[in-house]
Amino acid sequence: MAVIIGIDPGSRVLGFGVISEGTGKLHHIDHGVVDVSKQTLFSTRIKLIGQELGFILDRYNPEFLVLEKIFMGKNVDSAFKLGHARGVCLYEAARRAIPVYEYEARVVKKGITGNGAATKDQVRLLVLALLGITSDQALDATDALSMAVHHSRMKDARAQFVRLKIDPPADLGEAL
């Protein structure tokens, strides 16, 4: 059984979702958020994100870590802070030799719902149903679960391209 952790990085709230796959089925293991929004210093938030993510990675020992690719919006400062949070995720994964993949949010939305312009709520509802989760959940956590589910679906196709020595399309995820 392969364990996959999806991460929705943020400098105030980081979502995580852990699944396993085996015998053609996906199994929900855990999900949640690391909320450091009460900390005023950015450096303290980044440190706490690293510590908490480290605990989560050590607990579940995933074979893959999947990150959402940065979308450059209008606020450059927010994009830089998000980049720092992603850097912490990359560092913690690298310390444990966990391969990291990234996907664009629209690609994940399309892979989960069939529509790259789907709303976060549509993705959330479908992911919860796919994994048999009956309670309402935070969007950061379900975004992370959707990253893990999408990677599970794409990694076999990606492996076939690699076996055939063909560069896989970016939609199949980029190894970092």
Reply yes or no on whether 140 is catalytic. Answer: yes
Question: Which entry of 21, 35, 52, 68 is annotated as an active-site residue?
Answer: 68
Q: Which of 8, 52, 92, 102 is catalytic?
A: 8
What residues form DSSP beta bridges with 175?
101
Q: Return the closest-CA partner of residue 90 out of 81, 100, 80, 82.
A: 100
> Does the active-site annotation cover 30?
no
Taking alpha carbons only, the member of 126, 67, 128, 111 closest to residue 92 is 67
Q: CA 59 to CA 62: how far, in whole Å?
A: 9
156 labelled catalytic? no
| CA atoms within a 13 Å half-sphere pointing along the CA-CB vector of 112 | 33
Contacts of 97 (CB under 8 A, 6+ apart): none
Residue 72 is which amino acid?
Answer: M
Residues 6+ apart with CB under 8 A from 168: 157, 158, 161, 162
> Torsion angle of alpha carbons 36, 51, 9, 149, nearest 10°?
-120
Which residues are tagged catalytic?
8, 68, 140
